[in-house]
Amino acid sequence: MEKPTKGEQTRATILDAALQIASKLGLEGLTIGSLAEATSMSKSGLFAHFGSREDLQLAVLEHAAQRYGERVFLPALKIERGLPRLRALFGHWLDWTLSSGLPGGCIMISAAAEYDDRPGPIRDAVIANQHRGNAISQKAVRLAIDEGHLKADTDPEQIAFEMLGIVLASHNHRRLLGDKEARKRSLLAFDQLIARHAAPRKTLKAVSR
Amino acid sequence: MEKPTKGEQTRATILDAALQIASKLGLEGLTIGSLAEATSMSKSGLFAHFGSREDLQLAVLEHAAQRYGERVFLPALKIERGLPRLRALFGHWLDWTLSSGLPGGCIMISAAAEYDDRPGPIRDAVIANQHRGNAISQKAVRLAIDEGHLKADTDPEQIAFEMLGIVLASHNHRRLLGDKEARKRSLLAFDQLIARHAAPRKTLKAVSR
DNA sequence: CCTACCGATCGGTAGG
DNA sequence: CCTACCGATCGGTAGG
Q: What is the CATH number of the domain that holds A162?
A: 1.10.357.10
In a domain, A208, yes or no: no
What is the DSSP secondary structure assignment for residue B120, as one 8-state letter? S
A132 touches strand C (CB under 7 A): no
Report d(CA A202, CA B1) in Å as an integer.
73
Whether B207 has a pLDDT exceeding 90, the answer reads no
Please indicate whether residue B9 or residue B95 has the higher confidence score (pLDDT).
B95
Which domain range does residue B142 map to? 6-197
In a domain, A1, yes or no: no
Q: In 3-state terms, what secondary structure has residue B198? A: strand
Q: Return phi, psi of residue B30, to 5°.
A: -85, 110
Question: Which residue in chain A has the smallest CA separation from B109?
Answer: A113
In a domain, B202, yes or no: no
Q: Domain count of chain A?
A: 1
Is A4 exposed, middle or buried (CB count within 10 Å of its CB: 0-12, 13-18, 19+)?
exposed
Report d(CA B90, CA B72) in Å as an integer.
8
Report d(CA A17, CA A101) in Å as an integer.
12
- Give Cα separations from B39 to A76, B7, B21 (angstroms): 52, 14, 11
Q: For B27-49, give one letter per residue: b (16+ CB within 10 A) or e.
A: bbbbebeebbeebebeeeebeeb
- Which pLDDT score, from 0 to 100, does residue A7 have? 74
Q: Apex CA B77: angle with CA A172 and CA B62, to 5°?
A: 50
The count of CB pairs under 8 A between chains A and B is 129
Whether B1 has a pLDDT exceeding 50, the answer reads no
CA of B34 to C1' of C8 (A): 13
CA of B149 to C1' of C9 (A): 57
- Taking an 8 Å cut-off on Cβ atoms, the answer to whether B118 and A25 are in contact is yes
The average pLDDT across B177-198 equals 98
- Give Cα separations from A177 to A21, A155, A182, B163, B185 (angstroms): 21, 32, 10, 16, 26
One-letter amino acid of A166 = I
- Taking an 8 Å cut-off on Cβ atoms, the answer to whether A162 and B29 are in contact is no
In a domain, B159, yes or no: yes
The average pLDDT across B158-168 equals 98
In a domain, A148, yes or no: yes
In a domain, B207, yes or no: no
- Taking an 8 Å cut-off on Cβ atoms, the answer to whether B189 and A158 are in contact is yes
pLDDT digits (tens, 9 = 90+) for B86-140: 999 999 999 999 987 899 999 999 999 999 999 999 999 999 999 999 999 999 9
In a domain, B203, yes or no: no
- Which pLDDT score, from 0 to 100, does residue A9 have? 86
Interface check A104 vs B, CB under 8 A: yes
Provide the positions of strand D that have an atom within 7 A of a protein CB. Answer: 1-5, 9-15
